[in-house]
A and B are shown apart, each in its own frame.
Chain A
Amino acid sequence: MSAEQALIVGLPDTAANRALIADINSAAARSRKAEPGDRLDIARFEALTTRLEQLAVNDAQAPRIEVSMPRPSAEALLFGFDQRDWSPSWPADVRAAAAGAVAAGRLPVLVVLPLTEGSPARRGDLGPAAAPATRWDSDGVRGWKAVEARFRAQLTQAVTAAADDRVPISPSGIQNSVVTETLREFTAQVPGCARVDVPVEYRDGSRSAYAFPLRSLPLKGQLAAASLELRFALLSIRHTEMDAVVDGAWLRNAEVSRPRPAGQTDDLVYDISRVQLAELCRGESHVRLYLYQTGLETAVVGFYKALADHLLRYPRSVSVQPMYYEAPRGRSRGPVGEQSALFRKGTPWTV
Chain B
Amino acid sequence: MPPGLAALAQEPDFKFAEPWLVRSIAPTVDEAFSLLGPDAPENLLPIAALDDESFACVVCAPAQLPDDAGNGLVVRWHTRDIAPRFQADVIDIGIVDYVSSVDEELAARRDGLRRMLDQIGPAYEESYLDKEKRPRDFVIRPVRIACQNVIVGLAAFAQDSTFDGLSVVAWQTCEVPHVATHEGNRALAALTLCDAFRNGGTMEIRFDRDARVSCQGRRVVYHGHVEKAVPASLRRYGRTVGVDLGAKDPAAITPAEARELFLAVTPMPAELRARVDDVMATRGISPERICFSLLSQIWREPELDFLLAASARAASILEGGAPWTDRASRQAESEVCRAAVMAGMLFRRLNSTDAAGDASSAVRVVEDRSKGVTWHVDEVKAAITFRGVDATAPVPWARGTGGVDEVTVFPRTALTSDLAQAVAADDSAAFKAVLVPADVPSPPDLDGVVVLRCPDRLADIDKDIERRLLTSRISRG
- Interface on A for B, CB 8 Å cutoff? 1-2, 4, 6, 31, 39, 42-43, 45-47, 49-50, 53-54, 57-58, 60, 69-70, 72-78, 110-120, 122-130, 132-138, 141-143, 146-147, 150, 172-175, 202-206, 259-262, 331
Contacts and interface: CB of A to CB of B under 8 A. Distances in A.
Contact of B162 (A53, A126, A138): A138
A203 B475 CA distance: 10
A1 B311 contact: yes
B107 to A, nearest CB: 26
Contact of B327 (A76, A119, A127, A203): A76
Nearest to A173: B161
Nearest to A75: B325
A60 to B, nearest CB: 6
Contacts of B410: 115
B327 A110 contact: yes
18 contacts: A1-B379, A2-B310, A4-B312, A4-B332, A47-B459, A50-B334, A58-B414, A72-B326, A120-B312, A124-B313, A126-B283, A130-B286, A132-B256, A135-B252, A150-B164, A203-B200, A204-B473, A204-B477
B395 interface: no
B282 A127 contact: yes
A202 B475 CA distance: 12
B217 interface: yes
A39 B417 CA distance: 35
Nearest to A89: B326
Given A70-B329, A73-B326, A114-B332, 4 more contacts: A6-B328, A73-B329, A110-B327, A135-B165
Contacts of B95: none
Contact of A206 (B287, B440, B477): B477
Given A74-B326, A146-B163, A132 B335 contact: no
B238 to A, nearest CB: 16
Contact of A60 (B137, B285, B443): B443
A129 B477 contact: no
Given A150-B161, A259-B470, A260-B474, A117 B422 contact: yes
Given A1-B312, A129-B284, A135-B202, A76 B329 contact: yes
Interface stretch (B14-22, B27-35, B314-322): B314-322
Interface in B307-358: 309-315, 319-320, 322-336, 339
B71 interface: no
A141 to B, nearest CB: 8
B413 interface: yes
A142 B285 CA distance: 34
Contacts of A174: 161
A140 to B, nearest CB: 11
Contacts of A114: 311, 313, 332-333, 335-336
A45 B324 contact: yes
B311 A142 contact: no
A146 B162 contact: yes
A76 B202 contact: no
Interface in B429-455: 440-441, 443
A4 B333 CA distance: 11
A39 B459 contact: no
B310 A1 contact: yes
B203 interface: yes
Contacts of A125: 282-283
B473 A2 contact: no
Contact of A76 (B210, B252, B326): B326
Contact of A133 (B159, B255, B411, B458): B255
A172 B411 CA distance: 41
Interface string B359-386: 0000000000000000000011110000
A167 to B, nearest CB: 14
Nearest to B426: A117
Contact of B310 (A43, A49, A115): A115
A87 to B, nearest CB: 8
Contacts of A204: 200, 473-477
A132 B203 contact: yes
Nearest to B323: A74
A126 B315 contact: yes
B466 A124 contact: no
Closest 3 CB pairs of A and B: A203-B200, A204-B477, A126-B284
Contacts of A202: 200, 477
B138 interface: yes
B466 A39 contact: yes
Given A74-B326, A110-B328, A115 B336 contact: yes
B465 to A, nearest CB: 10
Contacts of A72: 322, 326, 329
Contacts of A112: 328, 331-332, 335
Interface in B194-237: 199-204, 209-210, 217
B48 interface: no
Contacts of A113: 335, 414
A296 B410 CA distance: 47
Contacts of B284: 126-130
Q: Which of B285, B322, B325, B476 has the most CB of A within 10 A?
A: B325
Contact of B414 (A57, A73, A133, A147): A57
Interface in B156-197: 159, 161-165
A147 B161 contact: yes
Given A115-B310, A123-B312, A259 B336 contact: no
